[in-house]
Copies of this chain bind each other. A is one copy, B any other.
Amino acid sequence: MKITHIPNKADIEASHELIQDMIFRTPVMTCQSINHLLETQIYFKCENFQKVGAFKMRGGANAAVRLSREEQAKGLATHSSGNHAQAVARAAQLLGVPAYIVMPSNAPSIKVAATKGYGAEVIHCGPTIDDRTTTLNQVIAEKGATFIHPFDNYDVIAGQATCAKELIEDCPPLDILMAPVGGGGLMSGTALSGKYFSPTSKVYGAEPEIVNDAYRSFHGKGIVKNERIDTIADGLRTNLSEKTYEIIKENLEDIITVSEEMIIKAMRLIWERMKIIIEPSCAVPLAAVMTKSDLFKGKKVGMILTGGNVDLEKLPF
């Protein structure tokens, strides 16, 4: 059954139950040398080890599993050239139903191959947002498939919320919870889980300076959009939506913006010290701790490492 309101505590708990066989309960890692360096205690929730290599599996699974059997049978549809595409494809594969993924024809072939590898049908479209919408609407009309929006969807938000829920369950009481902000699906879910399962934790978002729409929206009046998108953190180029803005506006302590240089530095620190592979978007919360270190000194910080899907031939170091 679809969630039609801002997810409450019971919605998130039920979502966690519903998707438990479709996701991994990912480990929480700590790193003595990073803690020592930043004089803080960070608990990293490793969603880079999640199915499809990113937290997006949670939201995709929750949206899929909450459809009726008839809806599922007609297939899941979305537009994405990133981790959400693979999440929807994998969720459909696990349920044994079709997935239709609309991708721009210039999408990286490795992403197309990975999505097809989960059994999805990839439908190419032109490079503009209009092309994408037109093609997606055609697919939905033809197949009767259900569109799963990457973040402007309460089922997706409740699914992403299970990540912070697990992190809270697996850690000592946390002073701070952190996630990066792109479209705001994970950020909204993290804020809600913080509110329900760890009400004394402050929740901070982290965002690249170059795509600071969420920062400006949070501090202003209503949703503003990015004017440029040339950040290395390619998962965070999207703008907030109505549903995510509403939750973020009410439930965040603040959003911290970071430079491109600090993102690369944080990414490298995690690679070198923790020996795990994370994508640039994933390094943004640690970059925020490095940028505003006084705020985090002596604190217990739960931080979501969102994903590990990176092109090894295009590393920034």
A interface residue numbers (CB < 8 A to B): 27, 29, 48-49, 53, 268, 271-272, 274-278, 308, 312-313, 315, 317
Contact = CB atoms under 8 A, between A and B. Distances in A.
Contact of A275 (B272, B308, B315, B317): B308
A232 to B, nearest CB: 15
A182 B271 CA distance: 25
Contacts of A315: 312, 315
A313 B308 contact: no
Contacts of A27: 27
A49 B273 CA distance: 9
Contact of A277 (B29, B53, B277, B313): B277
A27 B271 CA distance: 18
Contacts of A29: 49
A304 to B, nearest CB: 15
Contacts of A308: 275
Assembly stoichiometry (copies): 2
Contacts of A268: 312
21 contacts: A27-B27, A29-B49, A48-B275, A49-B274, A49-B275, A53-B275, A268-B312, A271-B277, A271-B312, A272-B312, A275-B276, A275-B277, A275-B278, A275-B308, A276-B276, A276-B277, A277-B277, A312-B315, A312-B317, A313-B317, A315-B315
A277 B273 CA distance: 10
Contacts of A274: 49
A50 to B, nearest CB: 9
Across the A-B interface, the 7 shortest Cβ-Cβ residue pairs = A275-B308, A275-B277, A48-B275, A312-B317, A276-B276, A49-B275, A271-B277
A93 to B, nearest CB: 12
A283 to B, nearest CB: 14
Contacts of A48: 275
Contacts of A271: 277, 312
Contacts of A53: 275
A259 to B, nearest CB: 20
Nearest to A48: B275
Nearest to A27: B27
Contacts of A277: 271, 275-277
Contacts of A272: 312
Nearest to A268: B312
Contacts of A312: 268, 271-272, 315, 317
Nearest to A47: B275
Given A271-B277, A272-B312, A277-B277, 10 more contacts: A27-B27, A48-B275, A49-B275, A53-B275, A275-B277, A276-B276, A276-B277, A312-B315, A313-B317, A315-B315
